[in-house]
Structure 1
């Protein structure tokens, strides 16, 4: 989306997303599905490890603008301190949680890596001093992809450092600081989804009426009526439908354009074949139809295919 109105809509969507995931019970279920160490943990135990505000349900996040003396500031969407159940620590891990609606002109994985690096370097002088690197907190960058390519839908990708050895080292370090997680939603909610995806799909995707969504959230996932963000989810749903219609229109238009282009190329193939049958050389025939270098490659390939079929 490039128009000012669309940009404004995206900003509103991001703000609604921020409100939704700052609700303690909602964030607990998301973390349970995303972070391997929390898989199978009771959502209430996870919620106890969050920094909940005075209202009893809003999670207090960390400062999202990370400063560096040499690299300048970077602004992330949502950063949380999370105490893992049973850890006994004030802060166990640091979580960056992002929503992504559209594809980007850059590799999203590289952006996640950069964010992880900044979350680690920001701990210097806060979490550890001098060479006390043992106090480093694990960092997670979680990306919820709302409109991934169809082949990626309803999947979760988790990345972490794993050792590759030569010989038999006596000691293998546990390098678990960096963790990138990509949650690919997309499509309509359905009951057969893996449990790690079911909650997020029910919360953000289509396939449920507003009443069905609220009923599922309050009864199955125990989100209180006071905590349930009806307005924000409704606005996100409207925006999601707008996106869906836009993608359908764009896909249809692109399909027509590609079909027309392919039709023109096939016509050139037939003309070249006819010219050759009348005594023209391949080169002369290609010149006559004004084929570009890319088209020449396609036309010659199709000629070979047609000739092999005719033999």
Structure 2
């Protein structure tokens, strides 16, 4: 019964997909991730980035489902674009994709899949940012992949993949011609000791590991929330839903366990009655065990279950 309960809880509670996406898509969390991993925003404070996110003229959510004929449909967890103010007074538009990936060993390389997502988002820009007459309009894509259930060894690792030019000869050209994509892989472990800061990116990694962690209750998440003000509703909803699933799973598991006990009891009772009936027939008719079981029309399984009680 315990196995049934544990399996049910595990299957339902390992990351509550929609609530996790709501937390990662929270304006403050999004602003912190942009501040930490988007180099075009390093000069901005989290508050300044949040101001851009709240400005409908600067920020917009994009359709997270993209279909290209003959190439299939791709669904993104989260996709948006934001215009970031630069020090020279201009704006820099970046496309940001955030993915939550629980299974870090899906049978293929997540890095390869991540790069495919980046290329797909570059393609999405066709006709909007660039076309065959102006490829220079292409905007940079950042794809952040968060693995909340990585191993302890990988906990806190952040790997960045981007295009790098190797100059064989001649002068250095304009980097902006090829600096159009960055894939950021973020590894977190559920059992991270939240009393210990991450060596790097702690302002983002710690809240992520806390808020996406189904091992910490709502009050614990609030206490370790690193000053988040506008994320409490999403966190509370996730915790409430997690607790609901756990109670539901336990109730279902207990009910299933009770049913198993009842069924087992019925089998034992039937077995004892079969033994009694076979003995009565053998005594009354002075016949063999085989003939008695045939007269009673017992199944082969029923015969095997009581056979040892009639062996001399």
Fold shared, TM-score > 0.5 on shorter chain: yes
Q: Secondary structure at the match of 1:192?
A: coil
Asked if 1:125 corresponds to 2:149, the answer is no
Alpha-carbon deviation of 1:95?
0.8
Q: Which residue of 1 aligns with 2:12?
A: 9
> After superposition, what is the alpha-carbon deviation per residue over 1:32-66, rounded to whole angstroms, capped at 9, x for unaligned?
2333443463111111222567xxxxx85210111
Compare CA radii of gyration and give the structure with the larger one. Answer: 2
CA 208–12 in structure 1, closer or farther in 2 if over 3 Å, else same = closer
CA 104–115 in structure 1, closer or farther in 2 if over 3 Å, else same = same
Q: Which residue of 2 aligns with 1:95?
A: 96
Question: What is the root-mean-square deviation of aligned Cα atoms in Å?
Answer: 3.4
The size of the alignment, in residue pairs, is 230
Alpha-carbon deviation of 1:161?
1.0
Q: Structure 1: state its 5+ residue gaps.
A: 54-58, 241-311
Q: Within 1, Cα distance between the matches of 2:55 and 2:108?
A: 35
Asked if 1:189 corresponds to 2:194, the answer is yes
* Aligned counterparts, 1:45-194, within 5 A: 45-50=48-53, 61-86=61-86, 92-102=93-103, 103-174=105-176, 175-186=178-189, 187-194=192-199
Q: Within 2, Cα distance between the matches of 1:228 and 1:111?
A: 28
Q: Secondary structure at the match of 1:32?
A: helix
Q: Secondary structure at the match of 2:168?
A: coil
Asked if 1:201 corresponds to 2:201, the answer is no
Q: Secondary structure at the match of 1:183?
A: strand
Q: Within 2, Cα distance between the matches of 1:195 and 1:238?
A: 35
Q: Within 2, Cα distance between the matches of 1:153 and 1:62?
A: 31
Q: Structure 2: state its 5+ residue gaps.
A: 1-6, 247-312
For normalisation by structure 2, the TM-score amounts to: 0.63
Q: Which residue of 2 aligns with 1:223?
A: 229
For normalisation by structure 1, the TM-score amounts to: 0.63
> After superposition, what is the alpha-carbon deviation per residue over 1:110-165, rounded to whole angstroms, capped at 9, x for unaligned?
11011111100111111223321111110111100011133211111111111111
